[in-house]
Amino acid sequence: MGDQGGSTAHIAEYDVSTNIAGSINGTLVSGMAGAPTGIAVSGNNLYVTNTNNFTVSDYNATTGLAISTFNTITTASLAPHGLLVSGNTLYVSNGNVISTYNATNGNVINSNLITSGLSTPEGMVLVGNTLYVADAGSNTIDTFDITTGLETGSSFISGLDRPISLALDGNVLFVTNAFAGTVGAYNVTTGNPIGANGASFITVPGEAWGLAVSGSNLYVADVLSQNIGLYSAIDGSTINANFISTSGYGPEGIALAVPEPASAVLLGLAFPALLGVARHRKSKPAPPR
């Protein structure tokens, strides 16, 4: 989604430890001249992709200040979208490529880890050595071996409608279909929808973009309705479709964190206390990427 608000782009922080969200810091990272789309949290590090500026930056998740020891990643003319942190490796989807970087200093590990089989890759999840990629341009979820970069499952899940974000909960892979305004639930091993309504497990009022799961809660960023909805990860029922209102902004990326000390492993297991939302001002519906 293009940036219609210039320096109004920012990262906001909310307390979601109860079913009533409370703002902690509405402008944790402010004055961002671009379009922050993907965010990821590891420990006290907050990584942000800035699509318009072709960069990936690292901020202190507590203070919002840029981390000086991290070399800002520049992806040339390839717009970065999705982010994934695994250990000390940062995976970035940009253009039609998946690249890897050192999560501590931003140095390149492999700028061309995956170079074929992709058409506008977005969100990613990692299971063992298998990387699941939301391939927005082909409306599929594809799988790759991170040790070789080779595709292992072309159209592992197909028939989607602009898949943007992925979230994993046990054996369930959740996928946002941006244009359909739905979240699908699939078996991560077989790729089959879970239950009769698995392909449309959740329907949001507008467009479903960012996604995060914690325990029995699913958080979905709705760009057109300008809010974060809260849904049941068990049966897809609506808990609060307007859990967090971001009026005037189209929220995209979501990252969950727990109070320090935290680790990349605990972030996926512990009930979160913080919800980060990458958002930027929008004055009209988002055009296709």
- The rounded distance, in Å, linking the Cα atoms of 92 and 122 is 9
Distance spanning both ends of the chain, measured CA to CA:
7
Question: Is pLDDT of 260 > 50?
Answer: no
pLDDT, tens digit, 9 for 90 and up, residues 42-74: 988 999 998 888 999 999 988 889 999 999 999
pLDDT, tens digit, 9 for 90 and up, residues 110-155: 999 999 999 999 999 999 999 999 999 999 999 999 999 999 999 9
Closest among 15, 10, 8 to 259, alpha carbons compared: 15
CATH number of 6-281: 2.130.10.10
- The rounded distance, in Å, linking the Cα atoms of 134 and 126 is 12
Question: Is pLDDT of 8 > 70?
Answer: no
DSSP 115-128: -SS-SSEEEEEEET
- What is the Cα 105 distance to its own chain's centre? 21
